[in-house]
Amino acid sequence: MIKIMLSLALALFISPAMATDKGGRNPANLQLASVSAVVIDADSGEVLYKKYANMVKPIASLTKVMTAMVVLDAKLPLNETIRFSNDDRKAINYYHSRIRVDSELPRGEVLRLALMSSENLAAAALGRNYPGGLPAFVARMNAKARALGMKNTHFVDSSGLSGKNVSTAEDLAKLVAAAAKYREIATYSTTSIYTANFSRPRYRLDYVNTNPLVRYQRWDVAMSKTGYLDEAGRCLVMKTNVDGKELLIVMLDSFGKTSPMGDAGRIKRWLASGNGGTVASAAKDYQKRKIASHLASRATASIR
């Protein structure tokens, strides 16, 4: 039974199960390096393209979009100073950060660093400084996900460093649509470069946006977030304007550091011409392995 399910999954991998769209474009012509993806017209809600859009996957630092929404929903003062602590470092398992313990920065600037540069210590500090601390913060993240109709999403931390933060491309499109309506998220997530001025002690750190399409202002992007973990692959979500059309784009588990940007270009080309280009054979092999592993896990779970 498991072998049959895997064979069906790999057969489906060859061509996404979706009919030709209203523009006459064939989804089978769009090849992506991302294992899971969705492209949605932000105004009409029409799904222009989807590929394993309901596959539950780790989402890495895409988590920080929900972190930002919870902070802003609480209407906590953005000019209030936050002090970074050893507890924050512990929360991210002492993952590298250039921010010094005991230094301070206004909450709004901490939020900017979490969104534009995916600063993990910043995301941890935002969660710890929420009323009730990190447990209350994570509970609120999950409550917000349910309120947005994100049925296959679950959070366990505010940074995304845990592989247990999971979602689907379909759910994340809902997150992006909601997040883009927050003025601060739109502004902070699309900041190209920024210098943060810390206090206690006083020092400065320069940051750049982790999305090159934003950093080099190559695209008209209204909201953006990248993510990466070994188990999540390269991830990218955006609300962007392509040829006058507002789009929600979600790409999960891309193969290779620059693959999400390559996929974005292929999506743009496909929308304009119906030709989506090609991806490297290594990326295709990577996707087959990931899909086979996912289906094997589901089959094993169903047998149990």
The rounded distance, in Å, linking the Cα atoms of 76 and 159 is 18
pLDDT over 90 (residue 24): no
Catalytic residue among 34, 61, 158, 167: 61
- pLDDT-above-90 percentage for the chain: 84
Residues 119/99, Cβ–Cβ less than 8 Å: yes
Residues 46/63, Cβ–Cβ less than 8 Å: no
* Token pair 């523009």: residue: 23
What's the whole-number mean pLDDT along residues 283-292?
91
Residues 291/13, Cβ–Cβ less than 8 Å: yes
Based on the residue annotation, tell me whether 257 is a catalytic residue of this protein. Answer: no
Quote the pLDDT of residue 77: 98
Quote the pLDDT of residue 15: 41
Residues 288/52, Cβ–Cβ less than 8 Å: no
- Position 126, amino acid: L
Based on the residue annotation, tell me whether 61 is a catalytic residue of this protein. Answer: yes
What's the whole-number mean pLDDT along residues 164-193?
98
pLDDT over 50 (residue 14): no
DSSP annotation of 43: T
The rounded distance, in Å, linking the Cα atoms of 230 and 130 is 29
Based on the residue annotation, tell me whether 103 is a catalytic residue of this protein. Answer: no
CA trace torsion 234, 29, 38, 261 (10° rounding)? 30
Residues 16/47, Cβ–Cβ less than 8 Å: no
What's the whole-number mean pLDDT along residues 188-211?
97
pLDDT over 60 (residue 4): no
Q: Quick: pLDDT tens for 77-134.
A: 999 999 999 999 999 999 999 999 999 999 999 999 999 999 999 999 999 999 999 9
Quote the pLDDT of residue 22: 61
Using DSSP bridges, classify how beta strands 233-242 and 245-254 pair: parallel, antiparallel or unpaired: antiparallel
The structure's pTM equals 0.92
Tokens of 12: 């489906």
How many CB atoms lie under 10 A from the CB of residue 81?
Answer: 14
Quote the pLDDT of residue 297: 78
pLDDT over 80 (residue 302): no
Catalytic residue among 57, 64, 144, 225: 64
Catalytic residue among 34, 36, 118, 189: 118
